[in-house]
Copies of this chain bind each other. A is one copy, B any other.
Amino acid sequence: MSDHVYKKIELVGSSTKSIEDAIENAVQTAGNSVRNLDWFEVIDTRGHIVDGKVSHYQVELKVGFRLDG
């Protein structure tokens, strides 16, 4: 990692299944427009409630990728 510069972007992924699935959705969407994705950091976990049950999870995360690859 010694000679590189990385950029971090902030995304919110969502899923009706699990926290991990919401993370995966955000990461895969990021991969559509950015190459060299390297790591993610979970910033916040929240979600919506419908009829008294969790309807989907929302995970806010930062995704880091190498700029000079």
Contacts and interface: CB of A to CB of B under 8 A. Distances in A.
Interface in A1-56: 1-16, 18-20, 23-31, 37-42, 44-49, 52-56
B23 A20 contact: no
Number of copies: 12
Interface residues of A, number: 53
Nearest to A41: B46
A68 to B, nearest CB: 6
Nearest to A3: B14
A63 B48 CA distance: 10
A1 B48 contact: yes
Contacts of A40: 46-47, 49, 54
